[in-house]
Amino acid sequence: MLDHMGVSLVNTGDLSMQEIVQYAREAEELGYEGFWVGEGDGKESFAVLSEVAAGTTTLRLGTGDVNFYSRTPTLLAIGAATISRLSNGRFLHYGIGTGGGSWMEAAHGIALDRPIQRARETIDIIRGILTPQSDEQLGGPIVGLPSDAVVKAGQPRRFSYQGKIYNIFAFRLREGPLETPPRIYLSALGPQMIALAARQADGVISNGLSEASYYRYREIFEREGKAIGRNPDDIALYTLTMTTADDSDESLDALRTCLTYFFGAPHFFPVMEASGYGPAVRNLCEVWRTEGILKARHLVTDEMMEQFAVIGSPAQRRKKMQWMIDRNIYPILYPVCREGRVKEDCFDTMRFVAEYMKLPASA
């Protein structure tokens, strides 16, 4: 089961680099498929992945996600090529996205303009730079690559692109394209970004996936896949999966606080609406605005935690994880930790999941 699951961290700034590598090594030993790294206000993603690549041998590496506003598409392609070569081709999961809505604007001072168009062009350019063969050599169009993208075969291989945002002329990687480029996933919560991912990306990275929001993703996959002749089952779905090391009051309080931030972020509203919690979340946001987060967190019910996280007995937790795996959803563990016990809870959560996933299905 663990070969269809990955591990991540709430924030890479919570652990030292040495501890992060130790965490990744243990994930590899336990049998997890991948190690995924985010960014936010923690450590720079590619620097972390380079250390993890040096400290592991079989673990597949991924981002979930890096934003496409603070880096150009060309730099994103260079980063991917660098990590792929450092890891002997183990950088296979490339999650990209807007990076967190208003938080990105505040942290980077960048207006998040034209996110759909920017995502579309970023996918095209990353693919165009990293793909090893021309359109004709592949025997068909590169998925998502527009007709105005020029790929010249041979050495040196150069890539040109004319978009509404980016114009690339005759760029090439000095070391050449990758033999096995990473699959590109869009971090997508709203219907337009999900639809774009279904048409152009290899898949989607979600967050706090509920059963209701899963069917919303599937509906869009079916519609968009049919429109372009793509098998909806070929559109991968990954989800950051919030979970705890145990069900102690302290752990559940930490989860309640984490979900308050989750529910209060405007870009998560589509997930809440699809899951039937639109009015509850609007009320939570109003209480947060007028009375503060400590009051708002009391509005996160046990039912909400059961919907958007993995909690309960080992058997209950295994059942929910198995539900995802049976639907070809790839869970990325997102340990929610108690204050002052971040390292311990990260490691204990990873071990706990590995332990209960070995239980028989009827347990």
Annotate 221-267 with DSSP letters as a single string: HHHHHHHHT--GGGSEEEEEEEE-S---HHHHHHHHHHHHHHHHSGG
Mean pLDDT (the chain, rounded) = 90
What residue ranges do the domains of the chain occupy? 6-132+177-252+307-357, 134-171
Q: Which two tokens stand for residue 151?
A: 């790929």
Q: Give pLDDT tens digits for 268-305.
A: 888 888 888 999 999 999 999 999 999 999 999 999 99
Q: How many other CB atoms are there within 10 angstroms of residue 10's CB atom?
A: 21
Annotate 312-357 with DSSP letters as a single string: SSHHHHHHHHHHHHHTTEEEEEEE---TT-HHHHHHHHHHHHHHHT
Q: Which H or E run includes 67?
A: strand 60-67
Q: What is the pLDDT, as a whole number, of residue 147?
A: 47
Query: 63-72, 99-108, 152-161: which has the highest mean pLDDT?
Result: 63-72
Q: What is the pLDDT, as a whole number, of residue 158?
A: 84
Is residue 110 within 8 Å of residue 70, measured between CB atoms?
A: yes
> pLDDT category, 142, cuts 50, 70, 90?
very low
Q: Give pLDDT tens digits for 308-359.
A: 999 999 999 999 999 999 999 999 999 999 999 999 999 999 999 999 999 8
Q: What is the pLDDT, as a whole number, of residue 266?
A: 81
Is residue 58 within 8 Å of residue 148, measured between CB atoms?
A: no
Q: Which CATH number among 3.30.70.100, 3.40.190.10, 3.20.20.30, 1.20.1440.230 corresponds to the domain 6-132+177-252+307-357? A: 3.20.20.30
Please state the rounded mean pLDDT for residues 104-126: 90
> pLDDT category, 144, cuts 50, 70, 90?
very low
Q: Give pLDDT tens digits for 11-44.
A: 899 999 999 999 999 999 999 999 999 888 899 9
